[in-house]
Structure 1
Amino acid sequence: MERKTHERSKTTTASGDGSGLGTRPIGRLVVSLAIPAVVAQACTALYTIVDRLFLAHIPGVGDLAMTGVGVCFPITLAVSAFALLIGMGGGPLASIELGRGDLDKAERYLGASVAAIIAIAIILSILLQIFKTPILVLFGASDATLPYASDFLAIYLSGTLFVQLSLGLNTFITAQGRAFVAMTSVIIGALSSLALDPLFIFTFGMGVRGAALANVIAQGLSAAWIIRFLASPDSAIRLRLHSIRPTRMLGPILFLGVSPFIMQITESVIQVVFNSSLQHYGGDVYVGAMTIMTSLMQLIFVFSQGISQGLQPIIGYNYGAGSYGRVRRAYSGTMIAQVAINCTMTTLLALFPGAVASLFTSDAAIIDVVSRTLPYFVCGMGVFGIQNVVQCAFVGMGQAKPSLFLAIFRKLILLVPLALILPRLGFGTIGVFVAEPVSDATSAIVAGLLFTWYANRLLPKTERSADAVSR
């Protein structure tokens, strides 16, 4: 038995590095993995944005419908956060085990993750369906927007399992360096949603319920594609029916996944704080403006998240294999590229705020708010790429504690208190918008300093062979 396991481990190393995670030049490798991930993220952002564009053009009620769905955004973020809790915990750990040559353990991480995702999806959808109305009111829904928010959410939650499976399991595809396969799964969902949106919203006259149904069907198709691939011989990490069960491996999965989970769930908290504060100090016009601005911010996150997804399997595999020099080259080069891209995107949005706002709405009041506040709302995103790469590197190396600290520091220590305190100090709605760039810039500086200190300990100059690491 021991000999068979050893032989299988050697086979795994070869198959796990089929994409050259441990051998190809770092620059070309990052590009080859990042481009499909960026395309996938762009598709996700695109169909979220187009969703709102379609809703905004519903005759007579477009702005209210768009704002109502915007109020649901924190809940959809929370649903995806639980998928990241499992996927961003299990995926990097599986990648590290591939680097060490232990296929059996990588597959057990996958099986335990699937079991956890199914359980979480069932519990989450039931609880949110029961309490959706009071939650929406708490999150900033007014009497005018609540019916649209409630209709959208009721249908969206029926597809919670699909969302969890598609987001949570796609990380196990990127973990093995199969970026184009992971991209395809997202494109399937995005194109399906884009095709079904106008059909359900306008042709069938379903309005916001049509947008939600299109989303559910799209996520279902994406989840089916991912499961088919992971269960096939083409996957280096195979999904096997007997491994789908809760085990002790859930402990390290949850411990590592809690950082990206907090990053996402606190994004939900932030949206709640933004919406409730803006509703109090400005009304539906300011909530509608924030809906547009968060949609535009997703365009920047497209590149940040896509590049990070391409970088993470490289860091995880090479860290597991003891190739520390490759890890250093991967994160340093990626950080420079990400900051440059973020600064370019931020500048474009700051220069043309009114033009991009007019794509979403014809309401002059909403366009005016976006035109005045978008330039300084997004300005901190230029350097936020530093924290994004640092966070990715910590998770890729299995370092949960510093990653968790950074997630808490930016959102809970800086952004939420600032968004609550600044309006009360006399800044009003302006204080809500200013809180974002202050938090982004401060957390980026702290992240860079923290990683410099950790890197000296985690990435020694002397490298180890994969055999030494696995022993």
Structure 2
Amino acid sequence: MPQKNKLETDKISSLLVEFSIPAVIGMFVNAVYNIVDRIFIGNAPDLGSLGLAAVSITYPITLVMIAFGLLVGVGGATRFSISLGKKETTKAQHYLGNGISLAIIAGLSFTIIGNIFLEPILRNIGASDAVLPFASEYLSIILFGGVFQSLAMTMNNFARADGNPRISMISMMIGAGFNIIFDYILIMQLGWGMKGAAYATIGGQFLSVVWQLAYFTGKRSNVRLTLANMKLKLTYVKEILTTGIPAFLLQIANSILNIIINATLVKYGGDVAISVAGIITSSTTLIIMLISGIIQGLQPIISYNTGAGRVDRVKQALKLASIAAFIITTTGFLGIQLFPEFVVSLFNQETAVVSLGVKAIRIWTLGFPLVGLQIVWSNYFQAIGEVRLASFLNLARQLIFLTPLLLIFSSLFGLYGVYAAVPVADVIAFFVSFYFINKKLPRSRKKLL
């Protein structure tokens, strides 16, 4: 009789800690190095608020790159976990190999297409004449690292699904550590400006890929990567892409949303408002990254036990993850509301930026305590394979509700209407997700049994 996987036998609370803590640490470090990136840029004498605005303008493109990494990484890792739960090791090997191949294709596509149409893309997403040179210099280099980013994200998901969350955590820490150190060297010491920030970023991603490849081609991995399994097969490609659609759509929605926000902010507040949006995004992303860590730890537990038919363990894992997510977002909310000036001043100390930023960040985060629950619940449906519902719930907060609210509120209240639309959308998305998690969980139980 084959030995049972610990995902099916170990205590759920212990598993969630074992799988989520490394992911949370990794995502936290990942978020910190993005924040440090912006802190160095915002405080560099030759960059300042224009440098921050450039990063904000290029952020939607970065989100699209992340979207394709998650399409392959989350989709592949979910199918990988379910296959292991069903004791279908051969299938798991093919999901791993095909996932890596798709990640390479996605990364190369971004490098080629992005650099060919670089300036038109930046113009169309809101880069002003003052911001365009900074944004072009930064994004052109980031795009050349597209393969590294795509592979790093994909293999991080597979490492957790393979039962080794520490490998993923160390990968992100290696990348983040390199980025932080070389941000300081290249931006502050050598004066490389936006170019320095970009080189530090792709250098860290390259090291993460090297680490992950060493794991999956070595003896430590439970499922090993081979060239034979990297040959694309339509069945596996289709299942990977179909399963990863919710995570993909969430990031695409986030990208579209950022483009809309930037265009609205330029109209009502100019480059200063764009800089403030970059600060808010960085600050809130730090907290959202912690939720992402919990989700990444939760996914293999949910997916494996779905495949194994252990509904009791699925529900227990979901409950514990929901509690943890609520605590994290509530703590973040309190920190931002109590110390907004400190948060904003970390990134830039220009009077206009701090003055607008303090008011904006307080309004923006009013619905933040509910965000963690909404994200966990929507990703639960992805982990059990209910792709359509997961896609809808992932899109609800970022696109379906927020986009029309942005247009309506900004036309009524101007610049501050942009900020007020965010918490209203958060509250609506929470209640919609609450309705579906209560309605569909019993049905999911029947399907799992």
Q: Distance in 1 between matches of 2:45 and 2:397?
A: 40
Following superposition of structure 1 onto structure 2, how do residues 209-248 of structure 1 map, counting pairs within 5 Å?
209-247=195-233, 248=235
Matched, 1:73 2:59: yes
Q: Distance in 2 between matches of 1:306 and 1:108?
A: 25
Whether the 8 Å CA contact 2:345–2:354 is kept in 1: the answer is yes
Cα offset, 1:446, TM superposition: 0.8
Q: Distance in 1 between matches of 2:219 and 2:381?
A: 31
Which of 94, 115, 137 is the aligned partner of 1:129? 115
* Equivalent residue, structure 1, for 2:28: 42
Cα offset, 1:315, TM superposition: 0.5
* Equivalent residue, structure 2, for 1:356: 343
Deviations 1:335-363 (A, max 9, x none): 12211221111111011111111111111
Q: Distance in 2 between matches of 1:133 and 1:363?
A: 28
Which of 103, 120, 141 is the aligned partner of 1:155? 141
Cα offset, 1:422, TM superposition: 1.6
Cα offset, 1:460, TM superposition: 3.5
Which of 163, 168, 174 is the aligned partner of 1:182? 168
Whether the 8 Å CA contact 1:373–1:433 is kept in 2: the answer is yes
Cα offset, 1:172, TM superposition: 0.6
Which of 327, 333, 339 is the aligned partner of 2:314? 327
Please report the TM-score for the alignment, with normalisation by the length of structure 1: 0.92
**How large is the RMSD of aligned CA atoms in angstroms?**
1.5
Whether the 8 Å CA contact 2:49–2:272 is kept in 1: the answer is no
Q: Distance in 2 between matches of 1:390 and 1:255?
A: 19
Whether the 8 Å CA contact 1:37–1:182 is kept in 2: the answer is yes
Cα offset, 1:225, TM superposition: 0.8
Q: Distance in 1 between matches of 2:434 and 2:400?
A: 17
Which of 65, 81, 85 is the aligned partner of 1:95? 81
Which of 182, 204, 229 is the aligned partner of 1:196? 182
Whether the 8 Å CA contact 1:122–1:161 is kept in 2: the answer is yes
Q: Distance in 2 between matches of 1:377 and 1:177?
A: 37
Partner of 2:446, secondary structure, is: coil
Name the stretch that deviates more: 395-404 or 151-160.
Answer: 395-404
Cα offset, 1:202, TM superposition: 2.8
Cα offset, 1:268, TM superposition: 0.9
* Equivalent residue, structure 1, for 2:281: 294
* Equivalent residue, structure 1, for 2:106: 120
Which of 128, 145, 153 is the aligned partner of 1:142? 128
Matched, 1:412 2:367: no
Whether the 8 Å CA contact 1:230–1:238 is kept in 2: the answer is yes
* Equivalent residue, structure 1, for 2:48: 62
Cα offset, 1:264, TM superposition: 0.7
Following superposition of structure 1 onto structure 2, how do residues 299-378 of structure 1 map, counting pairs within 5 Å?
299-378=286-365
Deviations 1:174-214 (A, max 9, x none): 11231111100000100011111111113332110011011
Partner of 1:234, secondary structure, is: coil
Cα offset, 1:253, TM superposition: 1.0
Q: Distance in 1 between matches of 2:376 and 2:396?
A: 16
Residues 1:237 and 1:391: Cα distance change in structure 2 (over 3 Å): farther
Matched, 1:208 2:194: yes
Cα offset, 1:216, TM superposition: 0.8
* Equivalent residue, structure 2, for 1:29: 15
Name the stretch that deviates more: 291-300 or 391-400.
Answer: 391-400
Cα offset, 1:129, TM superposition: 0.7
Name the stretch that deviates more: 174-183 or 37-46.
Answer: 174-183
* Equivalent residue, structure 2, for 1:467: none
Cα offset, 1:302, TM superposition: 2.3
Percent sequence identity over aligned pairs = 36
Q: Distance in 2 between matches of 1:203 and 1:342?
A: 36
Whether the 8 Å CA contact 2:47–2:193 is kept in 1: the answer is no
Question: Counterpart of 1:336 in structure 2: which amino acid?
Answer: I
Whether the 8 Å CA contact 1:89–1:257 is kept in 2: the answer is yes
Question: Counterpart of 2:391 in structure 1: which amino acid?
Answer: L
Q: Distance in 2 between matches of 1:402 and 1:33?
A: 25
Deviations 1:4-27 (A, max 9, x none): xxx9xx4xx65xx2xx21111111
Question: Counterpart of 2:73 in structure 1: which amino acid?
Answer: G
Partner of 1:239, secondary structure, is: coil
Whether the 8 Å CA contact 2:49–2:348 is kept in 1: the answer is yes
Q: Distance in 2 between matches of 1:230 and 1:453?
A: 40
Q: Distance in 1 between matches of 2:24 and 2:11?
A: 20
Partner of 2:288, secondary structure, is: helix
Whether the 8 Å CA contact 1:300–1:346 is kept in 2: the answer is no
Question: Counterpart of 2:415 in structure 1: which amino acid?
Answer: T
Partner of 1:420, secondary structure, is: helix
Whether the 8 Å CA contact 2:375–2:394 is kept in 1: the answer is no
Q: Distance in 1 between matches of 2:289 and 2:131?
A: 28
Partner of 1:188, secondary structure, is: helix
Displacement over 4 Å in runs of 4+:
none
Cα offset, 1:85, TM superposition: 0.6
* Equivalent residue, structure 2, for 1:252: 239
Unaligned ranges ≥5, structure 2? none
Q: Distance in 2 between matches of 1:63 and 1:408?
A: 31
Question: Counterpart of 2:300 in structure 1: which amino acid?
Answer: P
Tell me the number of residue pairs that the alignment of Structure 1 and Structure 2 aligns: 448
Whether the 8 Å CA contact 1:83–1:165 is kept in 2: the answer is yes
Whether the 8 Å CA contact 1:385–1:444 is kept in 2: the answer is no
Partner of 2:432, secondary structure, is: helix
